[in-house]
Structure 1
Amino acid sequence: MMIKKINFKQFSSIKIGQELDVVMIEDFNYPQGHYLLGASNNVLIGTNPPPLMMLSKKYDYIKIENGSLVIGAATPSGKIVSFCKKHNIADFEFVSRLPGTLGGMLKMNAGLKEFEIFNNLDSIITKEGEIKKSEIDHGYRYTDIKDVVFEAKFQLNKGFDEEKIKLFTDMRSNQPKESSAGSCFKNPKGDYAGRLIEAVGLKGKRFGDMEFSSVHANFLVNHGEGRFEDAIELIRLVEEKVKDTFSIELQREIIIVDKNYL
């Protein structure tokens, strides 16, 4: 079993965390009771994290096989878009604006508006074998995937669209430049988390180096030396204010990786 030391203050997109031992998964014999990480783009590593694991580079690949697009779950989004552009493959342009690896995108059904990673999914491979999309409960930023995903198979459609790349770039042009984990909360049905945060007066609210961005209220950003405790305090404050004001319970999109919160 290979162990890798990872400094999450450097590795995670929000730049919070400490150096931790992470088990690198090489096959179906991975440890139980460990929390699975991807590229750590939508996570907040706590001060009391569980044992961690992630897929090794063995699962970083993309290929065309038997008329399908087959992608390893450790494959980064940039590699997926580059491959699709080179081979004139459609329906993955939106991935250009989604940081991380395929496994993380599958777990949360990542996407931009109506464009989601599950749209053209055919099946996934776990230690239980091949599981068809129809067998997986999924919806907006949600799936019931519990096991480690090693590989996924997608429908292969031709026609890479450069105009969509521009569209998705424009859609994300209002995002802050500081380190963050992306959107902190899911959008409630018929509304926007950012609007609600701004409406309760917490856009630009800051504790230490952590802030709900003054550029986009649903982005929790780190101005340099942000602490886990300050991030949690801000998240809780927003949840309480929005619930008290609008009777809406915001659902977190950011994943808090800590024994006290999982």
Structure 2
Amino acid sequence: MNKSLPIALRPNEPMSRHTSWRVGGPAQYYAEPTTPDEAMVLAAWAMTHRLPLIWVGRGTNLLVRDEGFAGVIASYRGQRWALHEHGETAELWVEAGTSMAGTARRLAAMGWAGLEWAEGLPGAIGGAIVGNAGCYGGDTASVLIDAELLLNGSERVVWPVTELGYAYRESILKRRGADGVPPLVLAGRFRLHRADPNVLMARIGAIAAERKRKTPAGSSCGSVFKNPPGDSAGRLIEAAGLKGTRVGDAEISPIHANYIVNRGQARAADILTLIELARTTVAERFGVTLQLEVRVI
């Protein structure tokens, strides 16, 4: 604990503890602020000490290199939420550290539709807003009203969805902050509508069963690559003959070729080698350049 901060700083924190791949070298400092004030204090501290700062979600779409990160990695953990009902519609305000899938289940049980497609989606609200997460016919952009952001480490603003530059698995938030302090999602406001909770929970159950059937067991980040227009990254990697390919303890899943699974003691370098192999082979055979969905630090 740094005595000048109202938040715990963990020095030399292995990021393998905070990523779903269970790999990654140490962050020079790691922190989990739970309020906007804590996030602002942390950003000011990092700037004062001339340390780069990276905001992350729950590490479900993140690969940290084995060398680690010389700076501060922080995961915002605020989980407050409020539901404002307006007859047959409602608005959900929810902080960025809240589980996306847990929120979807809670709302469905209450008879509110809009997020049930997110059942089983790993990660938190903030990551979904940054990456325009989506699956099973829905995505974040279609239900988000606006997002509360922290810009430059000190300025709290609210941006409507129209200003977030959404595209397939993309937003302006992914591209901002290459220089200086990157933006942090503090909360989002979502549009909901009433529906039969039994119908919603049945859909939740069907999505959960489908996910279980398709998702390889083991530590992974989910889909490694974005799907190219009109095609599937998994189909292309499988057609290239790479299913089951291993480097160290990292494996291109024999169940779903767009998953790379840590079979126990994989290193980030092993995963990066498989990523490059998949990109190179697919480009050579099919003329398609696969784009990463995962973030690499």
Task: Give how far 1:113 is off.
Answer: 4.3
Paired residues of 1:81 and 1:93 also in contact (CA < 8 A): yes
Supply the AA of the counterpart residue of 1:120.
V
Greater share of residues in helix: 2
Which residue is equivalent to 1:167?
206
CA distance, structure 1, for counterparts of residue 21 and residue 210 of structure 2: 21
Task: Describe the superposition over 1:12-64 as per-residue Cα deviations: whole angstroms up to 9, x where unpaired.
Answer: 1111024432133324342453111110011111123432333443x112211
Supply the AA of the counterpart residue of 1:91.
G
Which residue is equivalent to 1:136?
164
CA distance, structure 2, for counterparts of residue 156 and residue 96 of structure 1: 15
CA distance, structure 2, for counterparts of residue 115 and residue 81 of structure 1: 12
Structure 1 consecutive aligned stretches of length 4 or more whose deviation exceeds 6 Å? none
Unpaired runs of at least 5, structure 2: 151-155, 177-182
Which residue is equivalent to 1:158?
194
Supply the AA of the counterpart residue of 2:21.
I
Paired residues of 1:197 and 1:203 also in contact (CA < 8 A): yes
Supply the AA of the counterpart residue of 1:208.
G
Which residue is equivalent to 1:74?
97
CA distance, structure 1, for counterparts of residue 272 and residue 231 of structure 2: 23
Supply the AA of the counterpart residue of 1:12.
T
Which residue is equivalent to 1:249?
289
The percent identity for this pair of structures is 28
CA distance, structure 2, for counterparts of residue 104 and residue 195 of structure 1: 26
- Relative distance call for 1:4 and 1:78 in structure 2 (3 A) is farther
Stretch deviating more after TM superposition (27-36 or 140-149) = 27-36
Query: 1:80-159 counterparts in 2 under 5 A?
Result: 80-127=103-150, 128-145=156-173, 146=176, 147-159=183-195
Paired residues of 1:7 and 1:19 also in contact (CA < 8 A): yes
38, 43, 62: which one pairs with 2:81? 62
Task: Give how far 1:177 is off.
Answer: 0.6
Structure 1 length-normalised TM? 0.91
Paired residues of 1:62 and 1:80 also in contact (CA < 8 A): no
Question: Number of residue pairs matched?
Answer: 256
18, 21, 24: which one pairs with 2:32? 24
Larger radius of gyration between Structure 1 and Structure 2: 2
CA distance, structure 1, for counterparts of residue 39 and residue 26 of structure 2: 24
3-state DSSP of counterpart to 2:291? coil
RMSD after superposition: 1.9
3-state DSSP of counterpart to 1:71? strand
Paired residues of 1:109 and 1:139 also in contact (CA < 8 A): yes
CA distance, structure 2, for counterparts of residue 7 and residue 130 of structure 1: 33
Task: Give how far 1:76 is off.
Answer: 1.3
CA distance, structure 1, for counterparts of residue 203 and residue 104 of structure 2: 12
Paired residues of 1:4 and 1:24 also in contact (CA < 8 A): no
Which residue is equivalent to 1:260?
none
Which residue is equivalent to 2:10?
4
CA distance, structure 1, for counterparts of residue 161 and residue 99 of structure 2: 21
CA distance, structure 1, for counterparts of residue 255 and residue 141 of structure 2: 30
Task: Give how far 1:249 is off.
Answer: 0.5
CA distance, structure 2, for counterparts of residue 23 and residue 175 of structure 1: 30
